[in-house]
Amino acid sequence: MKKIKMNIGQPYPLGASVQETGINFSMVNSSDKECGIIFYRKGVEQKERILFDQRHRIGNIYCILVEGISACDCEYNFFIGDNVFVDPYAKKIVGNEKWRLGEFARPLLRGGFDRGIFDWEETAPLHIPYSESIMYCLNIRSFTRHPSSKVKKKGTFEGLMEKIPYLKELGVNSIELMPVYEYEECEWDDTDVNIKTQIEYQVKHIDEKLPLDEETPRAKRLNCWGYKEAFYFAPKASYSAGGNPCEEFRRMVRELHRNGMEVIMQFYFPDHVKQGYILEIIKYWVLEYQVDGVHLKGSRLPMTLIATEPLLADTKIMCEDFYLHEIYPKEMVPAKKVLGYYRDEYMYDMRRYLKGDQDMLKSFCYHMRNTNPKCGVINYITNYYGFTLKDLVSYERKHNEENGENNTDGTNYNFSWNCGVEGPSRKKTIKQLRDKQIKNALSMLFTAQGTPLLFAGDEFGNSQNGNNNCYCQDNETGWVDWRELSRNQELYTYVRDLIAFRKRHSILHLQENLTTLDKYGYGYPDLSYHGEEAWKMQMEYYSRHIGIMYCGRNDEGEADYIFMACNMHWNSHRFALPSIANHKWRSELSTAVNSVVFDEDKNMEYIDIAPRSITILTGKKLTEAELQQKAAMQIQTKNVTDLSEKPADAGGKNRRSRKR
């Protein structure tokens, strides 16, 4: 065994960093207890301890450069007094490589080393603007864990890579990952058995291969999501198919970038996590793993510190709120939007409009046009918390009994409607109404101005059986059931066409605000609202139907007209369509059979909108023959009008003659 040699180390970076002459270890100890490192050499039962002394201390940081050890054949932990703990800056975690099901004793975790050597093959972060982003939120394990996913490496980073062709065909270009950093999926009851006792039991019975007994510390619950304190610098080992999570995560990012898809990482930080530590974590993932953005969750986040960090000037940063007046003082507008509001207002308001609640039309119109000059706005109608889209139209109450918390967990504010029957139904009318409501919701999502976010499986009707908090369901309830893709192929095709439609029409995803003025010089405002009569809004509290017209400019520099007829009322309504010069309206996408009709007597186009349905129309340029026909009809109409007026005029002249 090579002899260990110790030298004075460097205080930063904290944790363990591999250098040419050895490994630099740096840890914080603000107490007066002795501290140091425990080495676990692979294949050797004996552990080695290195004790720090005052020579290794700078402020409250102890640092040492250790020579004579190899990062390839050892792991480590730190200790302060009797407390042995995993390095919070560890770049790799050893001991949690297999996804645990709560039937084992608590694992003895150790810090490992990431070589950090990787060929990115000329790929790089994509920097897709919020206005061009189509986001897709998923959990690495549940996305491909179901047998129907038909991937080889189920529930892993490799499994997601196998689904890249599917995601590319769907049209999404930004993948938001629920926590993929290392966390313990087993929830341990530390009030019954302290951590030290659990580790001692682990060493005795697992490492020495002694049988488990009734005193084995067992997990009380499984956590499949990871919104808890974690080892934030290390990719989750059990999400790795090949045993090297660091390299596998980099390969996943590289392949997603190669296929035009960003990687957005979610992070959850409890209140006690230090703010400087949070910033270091984000910078590390941006530098070492080339992630495109982060979605930060927690109530004590240093958002101004993060938003003003120069290193993150090109990185998307999303959270519930920012102090924009601190980040962009006075009237300052950023040259590039990297901040993004990630809030629930859109979700709840649009759900209420979808199910036909009273006095929601104004909120609907607001969310359809809402943007912010200083940051992006993320829109979603479902997310990992709450119902899936299929369950949103199938359940009015949460059904979380299987979670083991007496159905007290999960939100009670779902704003859902079951369309008449709670849960699955074989009734044709119920199924048709639910399918239509799903399409209605998706039509709103992908035509609103903000950045749309789709939750995994909603595009083909994945269900969680009414469970709106599947954090502990590592089973078919929590997994995405890919059999629904073949069963609901028509829905999937509709979503794919919606995404493609949004991309083709820039007026639906502008970087700047809509003005309601004739912005492009075609004689029509870029945004206008219409009731049953064209150009006349009906915004009464009881109104549930409206027409929204857009006038933009297409890639050829020509006018681009869109009319969206929305009716969330239980009765049908007729809309008189605005006349557009040298164009006629045609149906592009519709959640029900709603066709455009032409009234020759009034020389006007109408559309009859069925109850609870949406139709999207586009203006098609008239051909030369159609223009001539239209002109002839106008002349004919004028002649008929003139003839009908002549007797009155003639009579008037005769009366005047007689009078003279």
Phi and psi torsions of 446, nearest 5°: -90, 0
Q: Is the pLDDT of residue 206 over 50?
A: no
487/597 same-domain check: no
Q: Which of 367, 422, 368 is nearest to 397 (CA)?
A: 422
10 Å CB burial of residue 24 (0-12, 13-18, 19+) is buried
Q: How far apart are the first and last CA of the chain?
A: 132
Confidence band for 20, pLDDT divided at 50, 70 and 90: confident
For residue 345, being part of any structural domain is answered with yes
Q: Are residues 491 and 611 in the same domain?
A: no
Mean pLDDT, rounded, of the chain: 90
Q: Reply yes or no on whether the pLDDT at 269 is more than 50.
A: yes
Task: Specify whether 303 is located in the same domain as 180.
Answer: yes
Q: Which two tokens stand for residue 27?
A: 């840890």
**Is residue 647 one of the residues assigned to a domain?**
yes
* Residue 140 placed within a domain: yes
3-class state of residue 167 by DSSP: helix
Q: What is the structure's pLDDT at 330? A: 84
Q: Are 423 and 395 in contact (CB under 8 A)?
A: yes
Same domain for 392 and 277? yes
The CATH number of the domain holding residue 251 is 3.20.20.80
With a cut of 50, say whether residue 546 has pLDDT above it: yes
Identify the pLDDT of residue 192. Answer: 43
- On whether both 344 and 314 belong to a single domain, the answer is yes
pLDDT value, residue 104: 57
Same-domain status, 236 and 345: yes
Alpha helices per DSSP H over 268-308: 275-289, 303-307
What pLDDT is recorded for position 629?
A: 72
Last residue of a domain, one of 473, 507, 541: 507
The answer as to whether 544 is a domain residue is yes
Distance CA 387, CA 423 (A): 12
What pLDDT, on the 0 to 100 scale, is given for residue 346?
98
Mean pLDDT, residues 347-365: 97
What pLDDT is attached to residue 201?
45
Q: Using 50, 70 and 90 to split pLDDT, how confident is the model at 42?
A: confident
- Rounded Cα gap, residues 312 and 265, in angstroms: 14
* Domain assignment of residue 202, yes or no: no
Whether 484 maps to a domain, the answer reads yes
Closest CA to 111 of 233, 13, 8: 233
Give the model confidence (pLDDT) of 121-141 as tens digits. 999 999 999 999 999 999 999
CA distance linking residue 306 with residue 312, whole number of Å = 8
Strand, coil or helix: what is 134? coil
Residue 215 located in a structural domain: no
160 touches 456 (CB < 8 A)? no
| pLDDT confidence tier of residue 638, bands split at 50, 70 and 90 | low
The reply to whether 440 and 583 lie within a common domain is no
In a shared domain, residues 156 and 299: yes
**What span, in angstroms and rounded, lies between the C-alpha atoms of 388 and 552?**
34
- Read off the amino acid at residue 3: K
| Percentage of the residues of the chain whose pLDDT score is greater than 90 | 78
Residue 116 pLDDT class (50, 70, 90 cuts): confident
Please state the rounded mean pLDDT for residues 359-367.
97
pLDDT band at 103; cut points 50, 70, 90: low
Let me know whether 136 and 265 are in one domain.
Answer: yes
136 and 285 share one domain:
yes
What pLDDT, on the 0 to 100 scale, is given for residue 196? 45
**CA angle, 552 as apex, 551 and 553 as ends, to 5°?**
140
- List, in sequence order, every residue forming a beta bridge with 340; answer none if it has no partner: 318, 376
pLDDT of residue 197: 46
pLDDT reading at 180 higher than 70: yes
pLDDT of res. 235: 98
> Does position 636 have pLDDT exceeding 80, yes or no?
no
Any bridge partners for residue 434, and if so which? none
Compute the average pLDDT of residues 305-319.
97
The pLDDT of residue 653 is above 80: no
Contact in structure between 558 and 540 (CB atoms under 8 Å): no
Mean pLDDT of 44-73: 88
Q: What is the pLDDT of residues 316-340, one digit of tens each?
A: 999 999 999 999 998 899 989 999 9
Q: How sure is the predictor about 193, in pLDDT bands with cuts at 50, 70 and 90?
A: very low
In a shared domain, residues 584 and 596:
yes
pLDDT classification of 637: cutoffs 50, 70, 90: low
Among 248, 240, 441, CA closest to 356: 441
**Can you list the alpha helix ranges (DSSP code H) found in 361-403?**
361-369, 389-392
If one counts every other C-beta atom within 10 angstroms of the C-beta of residue 623, the result is: 9
Is 198 within a domain? no
Cβ(445)–Cβ(380) below 8 Å: yes
225 alpha carbon, distance to own chain's centre: 14
| CA–CA dist 491, 488 (Å, integer) | 5
556 vs 418: which has the higher pLDDT: 418
Secondary structure class of 628 (helix, strand, coil): helix
Domain that holds residue 597: 514-621
Confidence of residue 207 (pLDDT cuts 50, 70, 90): very low
Which tops the pLDDT comparison, 263 or 222? 263
What is the pLDDT, as a whole number, of residue 45?
63
Structure confidence at residue 70 as a pLDDT band (50, 70, 90): confident
pLDDT tops 70 at residue 376:
yes
| CB contact at 8 A, 85 and 38 | no
Residue 278 predicted with pLDDT over 70? yes
Higher pLDDT, 195 or 461: 461
Give a three-class secondary structure readout of 229-268: CCEEEEECHHHCCCCCHHHHHHHHHHHHHHCCCEEEEEEE
Q: How many domains does the chain have?
A: 4
Query: In DSSP terms, which residues pair with 342 in a beta bridge?
Result: 378
What is the rounded distance in angstroms from the CA atom of residue 181 to the CA atom of residue 88? 12
Of 479, 507, 535, the one marking the end of a domain is 507
CB of 606 closer than 8 Å to CB of 575: yes
Query: Following CA atoms 103, 108, 110, 114 in sequence, which dihedral angle do they give, to the nearest 10 degrees?
Result: -20
Residue 205, pLDDT score:
44
How much is the pTM?
Answer: 0.91
Co-location of 497 and 525 in the same domain: no
pLDDT band at 202 (very low <50, low <70, confident <90, very high): very low
pLDDT digits (tens, 9 = 90+) for 383-421: 999 999 999 999 999 999 999 999 999 999 999 999 999
Examine the pLDDT at 655 and tell me if it is beyond 80: no
